[in-house]
């Protein structure tokens, strides 16, 4: 009898373990790294740490917090302020201010009731932090709350500003874009339902047009004054657009989750070219990086591509050529002539290439 | 391993996720109602398994109570091998499959795991989860219009464990749904277990089940996202209803056993 009860309890434990495995362990990553650069350091926010990495050689300058706390995890791009702060939101619903030079904590803003998935925007001395509690918090540089704007959905995308119209544009998971007065947080307009959630930061040009990609497989050009749709572009097979487009010389560059990459005329929404770099349609999640006339973008298969503005592939490199396990969802960044990518599922947290695609260094956090 | 994972996804997970989202869209974008309706559907689909399980369990219990089995036990008390052979013979004679009661449960196990994964993945509260969800969606309906799913139902946040947000009374978080899971699991196991003779192995096993199972389910309901707990409560209630319709509910089991045996003596 005792043996049967023992087996019975073992089965229970087995079920519990199976369900736990499905749920994921407490410190399993739930997103990809956030990455920001200045002319000296790259700041990488991933899982339980924020790292400052020297761009010269990929060495670690500091990490925050010094002691790992599994309850505090970071995934959004950190934001640099003019007075040397590094602002980064955490999944513990707190917004942290660190000294960019040293990694010392300055203040913590604790008002949010849900995690920070979106990156924070710093503009004109103000901090705009969208949280997943459907609120956008505006703070002064000392972390004091100025105002709160509540939308009808979570915000996973960094907002952008347009100083000409004195607008702050907030993309939302509720399928709309909000235009807000950055001084007092009042709503100026909200777009119509755009057919899908928006998790990418919109692009904005000098002609007063906002470009927004949606999960509905559409890229919209919106009038920044009133949110009216100017044109819309559909991706092939309605491929979901995760990150916002990057605009350069009147052309919008973006990828979709079906693995297609597009160049679209900003003036009229007409496609210039489309490329599918891989047969397997590996997802393109991050926004592309445009330097001069070259476009850099990454995909789910761990590739970094360089295309020219006519759509011709110049080179490709894989972040994990030996095993092919690395995935890149974070948008690539550039500084000091380096192209920086932050892969996941491999030891390297940051890899630097030059513009010819040669690896210059890699950063593997000590202790990992 | 990759093939197994692909097969699991294609055969279990993808149909479940897409059914859940499809039902969600038809029910005014209410995920709580979608879980309830989906659970009822799953219970109806797996009804033949449930019925066969009940039949086999009853058969096993009748066999264990039979005089023939008791005689065999006495006769081969010291010879385990012979006892096992005779037991198998008796199973055949009485038309009882020894696996008939546990096989349907084993078949339902992947369904529970699949449903759990489907609920968690559909609610997708982090970027990795949402990206993962997009890989499971069928292309022939417009899932983009529905995502993100509304994860609120009554007082529940279906994507979070109740321990993180439960209703607070006097500074204590009261896990109402977890209590409901414990209650309905207890009720189900009591009502469905036929009365048995004190001291027999089946009775001891049933008592252990009646004690551990509700507590275990309560623990799961408390620790895992509330969507799963809602599934447990619905599944328990539908189970009780199904047994009731089959005329198998044993209300005597709700009365404490000592009181029940006193009544019998009278």
- Hey, which residues 93-122 in chain B have their CB within 8 Å of chain A? 109, 113, 116-117, 120
Residues of A in contact with B209 (CB under 8 A): 8
Nearest by CB: A12 against B205, B212, B224: B212
CA distance A206 to chain B (A): 30
Task: For chain A, say whether B209 makes contact (Cβ under 8 Å).
Answer: yes
Angstrom distance (rounded) from CA B167 to CA B189: 28
pLDDT above 90 covers what percent of chain A?
Answer: 83
* CA B263/CA B266 separation, integer angstroms: 5
pLDDT of residue B255: 62
Reported confidence tier of residue A230, pLDDT bands at 50, 70, 90: very high
CA B176/CA B233 separation, integer angstroms: 11
- pLDDT at residue A317 above 70? yes
Q: Taking phi first (over 0 means left), then psi (-120 to 50 degrees means alpha), and beta for anything else, what does residue A180 get?
A: beta
ipTM value of the model? 0.90
For residues A168 and A179, what is the distance between their CA atoms, to the nearest angstrom?
Answer: 6
Is pLDDT of A1 > 50?
Answer: no
Contacts of B127 in chain A (CB under 8 A): 30-32, 75, 117, 156, 199, 329
Question: Can you give the pLDDT at residue A355?
Answer: 94
| Interchain CB contact of B21 with A (< 8 Å) | no
Predicted confidence at residue B264, as pLDDT, reads: 46
Q: Which residue of A has its CA nearest to B224?
A: A23
Q: Mean of the per-residue pLDDT values for chain A?
A: 91
Q: What is the model's pLDDT at position A159?
A: 96
Nearest to A216 among B117, B145, B219 (CB): B145
In this predicted structure, what is the pLDDT of residue B186?
85
CB A43 within 8 A of CB A52: yes
**């004690």: which residue's tokens?**
B211
Chain B residues in contact with A257 (beta carbon < 8 A): 131, 134
A11 pLDDT band, cuts 50/70/90, is low
**Chain A contacts of B144, Cβ < 8 Å?**
195-197, 214-217, 238, 240
Say what the pLDDT of residue B266 is.
Answer: 43
Q: Does B146 touch chain A (CB under 8 A)?
A: no
Task: Give pLDDT tens digits for A127-156.
Answer: 999 999 999 999 999 999 999 999 999 999
Residues of A in contact with B219 (CB under 8 A): 16
Q: B144, A22: Cβ pair inside 8 Å?
A: no
> pLDDT tens digit string along B196-225?
555 555 566 666 667 777 888 888 888 888
Give the pLDDT band of residue A26 (cuts 50, 70, 90).
very low
Average of per-residue pLDDT across B61-70: 76
Q: Name the band, by pLDDT with cuts 50, 70 and 90, for residue A25.
A: very low
What pLDDT was estimated at residue A229? 97
Q: Measured between alpha carbons, how far is residue A337 from residues A59, A126, A180 in Å?
A: 17, 30, 36
B161: three-class secondary structure by DSSP: strand
User: pLDDT digit string (tens) for A108-133?
Assistant: 999 999 999 999 999 988 999 999 99
Q: Is A237 exposed, middle or buried (0-12, 13-18, 19+ CB in 10 A)?
A: exposed
Decide: helix, strand or coil at residue B10.
helix
3-state SS track over chain A: CHHHHHHHHHHHHHHHHHHHHHHCCCCCCCCCCEEEECCCEEEEEEECEEEEEECCCCCEEEEECCCCCCCCCECCCCEECCCCEEEEEECCCCEEEEECCCCCEEEEECCCCCCCCCCCEEECCEEEEECCCCEEEEECCCCCEEEEEECCCCCCCCCEEECCCCEEEEECCCCCEEEECCCCCCEEEECCCCCCCCCCCCEECCCCEEEEECCCCEEEEEECCCCCEEEEEECHHHCCCCCCCEEECCEEEEECCCCCEEEEECCCCCEEEEECCCCCCCCCCCCCEEECCEEEEECCCCEEEEEECCCCEEEEEECCCCCCCCECCCCCEEECCEEEECCECCCCCEEEECCCCCEEEEECCCCC
| pLDDT value at A366 more than 50 | yes
Q: What is the pLDDT of residues A191-201, one digit of tens each?
A: 999 999 999 99
Query: Token pair 């009554």 is at which residue?
Result: B154
- Å between B145 CA and nearest CA of chain A: 5
SS3 B98: coil
Say how far residue B108 (Cα) sits from the centre of its chain.
8
Gap from A22 CA to chain B (nearest CA, Å): 7
Q: Which residue of B has its CA nearest to A175?
A: B145
* Percent with pLDDT over 70 in chain A: 92
Chain A interface residues (partner B, CB cutoff 8 A): 1, 4-5, 8-9, 12, 15-16, 18-19, 22-23, 29-32, 75, 115, 117, 132, 153-154, 156, 173, 175, 195-197, 199, 214-217, 237-238, 240, 242, 257, 283, 285, 329
Overall average pLDDT of the A345-361 stretch = 95
């Amino acid at each position: 009898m005792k043996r049967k009860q023992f087996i019975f309890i073992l089965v229970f434990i087995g079920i519990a373990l199976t369900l736990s495995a499905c749920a994921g362990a407490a410190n399993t990553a739930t997103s990809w790294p956030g990455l920001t650069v200045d002319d000296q350091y790259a700041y990488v926010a991933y899982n339980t740490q924020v790292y400052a990495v020297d761009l010269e050689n990929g060495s670690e300058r500091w990490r925050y917090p010094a002691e790992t706390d599994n309850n505090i995890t970071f995934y959004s791009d950190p934001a640099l302020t003019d007075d040397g702060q590094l602002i980064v939101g955490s999944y513990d619903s707190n917004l942290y201010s660190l000294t960019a030079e040293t990694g010392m904590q300055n203040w913590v803003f604790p008002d949010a009731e849900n995690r920070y998935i979106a990156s924070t925007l710093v503009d004109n001395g103000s901090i705009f932090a969208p949280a997943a509690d459907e609120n956008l918090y505006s703070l002064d540089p000392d972390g004091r709350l100025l105002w709160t704007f509540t939308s009808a959905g979570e915000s996973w995308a960094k907002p952008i500003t347009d100083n000409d119209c004195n607008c702050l544009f907030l993309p939302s998971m509720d399928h709309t874009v909000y235009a807000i007065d950055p001084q007092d947080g009042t709503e100026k307009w909200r777009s119509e339902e755009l057919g899908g959630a928006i998790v990418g930061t919109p692009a904005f040009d000098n002609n007063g047009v906002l470009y927004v990609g949606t999960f509905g497989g559409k890229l919209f050009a919106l009038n920044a004054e009133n949110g009216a749709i100017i044109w819309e572009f559909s991706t092939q097979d309605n491929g979901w657009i995760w990150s916002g487009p990057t605009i350069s010389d009147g052309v919008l560059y973006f990828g979709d989750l079906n693995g297609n990459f597009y160049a679209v005329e900003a003036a009229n929404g007409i496609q210039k070219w489309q490329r599918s770099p891989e047969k397997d349609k590996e997802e393109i999640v991050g926004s592309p990086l445009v330097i001069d006339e070259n476009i850099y973008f990454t995909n789910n298969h761990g590739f970094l591509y360089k295309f020219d503005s006519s759509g011709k592939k110049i080179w490709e490199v894989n972040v994990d050529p030996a095993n092919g396990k690395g995935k890149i969802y974070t948008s690539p960044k550039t500084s000091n002539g380096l192209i920086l990518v932050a892969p996941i599922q491999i030891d390297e947290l940051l890899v630097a290439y030059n513009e010819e695609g040669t690896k210059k260094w890699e950063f593997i956090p000590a202790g990992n | 391993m990759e093939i197994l994972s692909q097969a699991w996804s294609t055969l279990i997970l993808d149909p479940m996720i897409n059914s859940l989202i499809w039902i969600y869209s038809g029910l005014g974008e209410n995920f709580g109602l979608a879980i309830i309706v989906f659970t009822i559907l799953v219970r109806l689909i797996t009804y033949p398994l449930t019925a066969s399980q009940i039949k086999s369990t009853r058969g096993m219990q009748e066999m264990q109570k039979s005089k023939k089995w008791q005689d065999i036990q006495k006769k081969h008390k010291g010879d385990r091998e012979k006892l096992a052979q005779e037991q198998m013979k008796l199973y055949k004679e009485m038309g009882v499959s020894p696996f008939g009661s546990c096989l349907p449960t084993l078949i339902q196990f992947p369904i529970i795991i699949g449903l759990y994964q489907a609920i968690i993945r559909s609610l997708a509260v982090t970027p990795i989860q949402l990206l993962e969800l997009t890989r499971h969606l069928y292309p022939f309906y417009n899932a983009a219009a529905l995502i993100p799913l509304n994860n609120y139902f009554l007082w529940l946040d279906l994507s979070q464990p109740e321990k993180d947000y439960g209703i607070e009374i006097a500074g204590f978080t009261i896990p109402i749904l977890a209590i409901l899971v414990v209650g309905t699991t207890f009720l189900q196991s009591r009502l469905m277990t036929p009365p048995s003779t004190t001291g027999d192995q089946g009775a001891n096993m049933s008592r252990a089940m009646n004690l551990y199972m509700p507590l275990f389910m309560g623990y799961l309901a408390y620790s895992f996202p509330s969507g799963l707990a809602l599934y447990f409560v619905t599944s328990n209630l539908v189970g009780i209803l199904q047994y009731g319709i089959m005329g198998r509910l044993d209300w005597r089991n709700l009365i404490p056993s000592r009181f029940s045996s006193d009544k019998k003596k009278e």
